[in-house]
Amino acid sequence: MGNQGPDDDKYHSEVDERTAEEKAIDAWLPISSSRNAKWWYSAFHNVTAMVGAGVLSLPFAMSELGWGPGVTVLIISWIVTLYTLWQMVEMHEMVPGKRFDRYHELGQHAFGEKLGLWIVVPQQLVVEVGVDIVYMVTGGKSLKKFHDLVCAHCKKIKLTYFIMIFSSAHFVLSHLPNFNSISGVSLAAAVMSLSYSTIAWGASVDKGVQKDVQYGYKATTTAGTVFNFFSALGDVAFAYAGHNVVLEIQATIPSTPEKPSKVPMWRGVIVAYVVVALCYFPVALIGYWMFGNKVEDNILITLEKPIWLIAMANMFVVVHVIGSYQIYAMPVFDMIETVLYKKLKFKPSWHIRFVSRNIYVGFTMFVAISFPFFGGLLGFFGGFAFAPTTYFLPCIMWLAIYKPRKFSLSWWTNWICIILGILLMIVAPIGALRQIILQAKDYKFYS
């Protein structure tokens, strides 16, 4: 056997000694059931996961950051998150013969069985469930905006009902078995994200620079300016939140020692990041350039006309968010079903899947209806969970597993990312908390 470590032993026993029952469960779970994805699946899954409707709030974030800091933060975030994404793609198969199909499995390899679960799973759940709730709100709001634009004289309908209409799609789509089966939905969503981003900056260019445009900070007090700045940093951070589903997407790509999955996956990631840049930078910079600090927190609201174009853009947002919801829900379904089958010993069946997934969709719908100012809440919770899972958890795992030489380039790079990420994790929730307090003052439940 030669110089075989305990890890190798473990992997040999895992390959051979999975019982027929365990194999059947793995073949049923959404993440590990289908491994025949092509590299372009990775591209549009990543675009769908990354380019949320958050792109539409980037001009507003720019107005709170200002030109210099705003451009710097956008570029640094793009580079840092691309680097941490590359790390995760590399770490997916770093143990020969084994694949880390889920974020928490990588965490367990880096930090140990128990601690790895406690570090990764709560953060991943906050991000995935949180994003799904925000998408419920966003989908409902975009449907409402579409209705109000197309039918200006109709009776006004409450946001609550639009969120219910939006969630009805998910009571159907959530029963698609695995990642590969949602690739059609995901492709449509990726195309839509490019479309509405292009409409957002194209319509801004068409309007031209406004007469009395101002680029100074809106807030009149120093404290207000600082808190807004913190909150805007959070907004930019959430625009880069695809890392929570990266290993799960890579798990769907076939892999052999000659052709490891990281090659097609990385190709897809590069394409996705080019698309991300094409969506983010024009919207953020042109939107701010044309409207200055008068821009709304959703650029489509600032652009009232031409009505048909803005209505169409809102519909594109709805289609996109439907795809994004599914991408973030799939790992949650995988966790729920793993617990049901492996811990509670239920037999894999469509009845259990039907009930558990409908409960999840119902839960996200209920929270979205109860707290439609959830964007601020996400800034608060997300600060704790988004920044780590995207900006510095991959770096800490890399240092723990590969142990690069002290003061080498890799060591410095990772520590710089970790420090930036931790600063972000501290300041984003502070800014968001103040926003929630301001928004919740005049809020009435189920209005």
Higher per-residue confidence, 47 vs 442: 47
pLDDT at 251 over 90: no
Task: Give the best-scoring range by mean pLDDT among 187-201, 209-223, 355-369.
Answer: 355-369
Domains of the chain: 47-440 (1.20.1740.10)
* Contact indicator for 134, 317 with CB cutoff of 8 Å: no
Mean of pLDDT values over 252-269: 87
User: 10 Å Cβ neighbour count for 376?
Assistant: 20
How far is residue 80's CA from residue 414's CA, in Å, rounded to a whole number? Answer: 10
Q: Is the dihedral of CA 275, 281, 287, 289 positive or negative?
A: negative
The angle, 0 to 180 degrees and rounded to 10, between the axes of the packed helices 409-440 and 393-402 is 150
Mean of pLDDT values over 336-355: 87
- How many CA atoms are closer than 13 Å to the CA of 437, on its beta-carbon side? 8
Q: Which two tokens stand for residue 160?
A: 């609550």
Q: Which two tokens stand for residue 410?
A: 């890799």
Mean of pLDDT values over 259-269: 89
Please tell me the least confidently modeled range out of 4-18, 309-323, 407-421: 4-18
Q: Which pLDDT tens digit goes with each residue over 24-76?
A: 887 788 777 777 878 888 888 888 888 776 788 888 888 888 899 999 989 98
Mean of pLDDT values over 269-273: 90
pLDDT at 374 over 70: no
* Contact indicator for 234, 130 with CB cutoff of 8 Å: no
How far is residue 251's CA from residue 61's CA, in Å, rounded to a whole number? Answer: 34
Higher per-residue confidence, 266 vs 243: 266
Is residue 306 reached through a cis peptide bond, with omega within 30 degrees of 0 on the bond before it?
yes
Q: Which pLDDT tens digit goes with each residue over 152-167?
A: 888 888 889 999 999 9
Residue type, 98: K
pLDDT at 194 over 60: yes
Kindly report the pTM of this predicted structure.
0.84
How far is residue 260's CA from residue 186's CA, in Å, rounded to a whole number? Answer: 24
What average pLDDT is seen over the chain?
83
The angle, 0 to 180 degrees and rounded to 10, between the axes of the packed helices 183-207 and 262-291 is 30
Please report the pLDDT score of residue 381 as a whole number.
65
pLDDT band at 18 (very low <50, low <70, confident <90, very high): low
Give Cα 85 to chain centroid, integer Å.
13
Higher per-residue confidence, 220 vs 313: 313
Helical spans, DSSP H, in 96-182: 103-111, 113-150, 159-173
